[in-house]
């Protein structure tokens, strides 16, 4: 109700209430429209995400399966490679020793009877001297050069050194034979 100069104007109040009502109604409609647009956008993004997941799933499966199979093949090849190297080292090198336990009988074979161990053979059988040297150095005639000779000698000398294997006469003999082989080929090459 508006009082102006002592007169009451009801029409102005009704008009003010009507304007406020329309403004509030417009705000509600605007809010509802914005909510519909916002939730529509979210729903559209959700649908696009579902479509992306459905479309990309086979590619992800293929990628992860391929990565798994690659890793598996790599491990198998690594295992086979290591196995082949171990087989080569044990069958074709000087690294093979066979021991025989015998009772301390004081045999005349020159073995120490107190430790009870007898070495059956420490040199590869039925080969000439150069072949024996190549086997102790873990080299072949194709791979024999100064670099490989030096590299293999240092590696094997560390493994067979008497200070590292104290009290093992077989390793001492092996070390001496290794040094002999290295001297032979270092003069020859």
Residue 118 near residue 109 (C-beta atoms within 8 A): yes
Q: With respect to residue 78, please indicate whether it lies within any of the assigned structural domains.
A: yes
pLDDT above 50 (res 120): no
25-39, 45-59, 109-123, 168-182: range with lowest mean pLDDT: 109-123
Residue 117 near residue 107 (C-beta atoms within 8 A): no
What average pLDDT does the chain have? 75
CA-to-CA distance for 74 and 49, rounded, in angstroms? Answer: 35
In this structure, are 155 and 77 located in the same domain? Answer: no
CA-to-CA distance for 160 and 121, rounded, in angstroms? Answer: 17
Domain of 32, in residue numbers: 2-92
pLDDT above 70 (res 79): yes
Residue 71 — pLDDT band, cuts 50, 70, 90? confident
In this structure, are 69 and 142 located in the same domain? Answer: no
Nearest to 136 by CA among 116, 122, 121, 119: 122
Of the three residues 38, 69, 92, the one that is the final residue of a domain is: 92
Give the pLDDT mean for 15-30. Answer: 84
Across 44-58, 85-99, 143-157, which has the greatest mean pLDDT? 143-157
Q: Check residue 157 and give its pLDDT.
A: 92
Long-range contacts (CB closer than 8 Å, 24 or more residues apart) made by 93-101? 93/135, 93/136, 93/138, 94/123, 94/124, 94/132, 94/135, 94/136, 94/138, 94/174, 94/177, 95/138, 96/124, 97/122, 97/170
Quickly list H helices, 93-145: 129-136
What is the value of pTM for the model shown?
Answer: 0.36
- CATH no. for residue 160? 1.10.287.110
Q: With respect to residue 108, please indicate whether it lies within any of the assigned structural domains.
A: no
pLDDT above 80 (res 125): no
Of the three residues 92, 111, 139, the one that is the final residue of a domain is: 92
24-28, 52-56, 78-82, 121-125: range with lowest mean pLDDT: 121-125
Q: With respect to residue 117, please indicate whether it lies within any of the assigned structural domains.
A: no
What length does the chain have? 189
Q: With respect to residue 79, please indicate whether it lies within any of the assigned structural domains.
A: yes
Q: With respect to residue 47, please indicate whether it lies within any of the assigned structural domains.
A: yes
Residues above pLDDT 70, as percent of the chain: 68
Q: Check residue 7 and give its pLDDT.
A: 58
Q: With respect to residue 7, please indicate whether it lies within any of the assigned structural domains.
A: yes
Nearest to 178 by CA among 139, 141, 136: 136
CA-to-CA distance for 9 and 69, rounded, in angstroms? Answer: 88
In this structure, are 7 and 83 located in the same domain? Answer: yes
Q: Check residue 15 and give its pLDDT.
A: 59
Total count of domains within the chain: 2
148-152, 167-171, 178-182: range with lowest mean pLDDT: 167-171
């Amino acid at each position: 109700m508006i009082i102006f100069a002592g007169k009451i104007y009801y029409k102005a109040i009704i008009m003010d209430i009507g304007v406020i009502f329309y403004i509030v109604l417009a705000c509600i409609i605007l809010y509802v429209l914005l909510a519909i647009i916002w939730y529509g956008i979210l729903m559209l993004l959700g649908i696009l995400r579902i479509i992306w997941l459905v479309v990309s799933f086979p590619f992800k499966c293929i990628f992860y399966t391929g990565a798994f199979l690659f890793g598996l093949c790599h491990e198998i090849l690594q295992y086979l490679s290591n196995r082949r190297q171990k087989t080569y080292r044990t069958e074709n090198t000087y690294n093979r020793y066979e021991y025989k336990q015998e009772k301390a009988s004081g045999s005349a074979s020159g073995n120490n009877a107190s430790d009870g161990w007898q070495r059956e053979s420490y040199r590869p059988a039925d080969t000439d001297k150069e072949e024996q040297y190549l086997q102790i150095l873990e080299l072949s005639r194709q791979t024999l050069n100064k670099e490989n000779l030096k590299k293999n000698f240092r590696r094997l000398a560390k493994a067979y050194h008497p200070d590292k294997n104290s009290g093992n006469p077989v390793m001492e003999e092996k070390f001496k034979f290794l040094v002999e082989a290295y001297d032979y080929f270092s003069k020859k090459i």
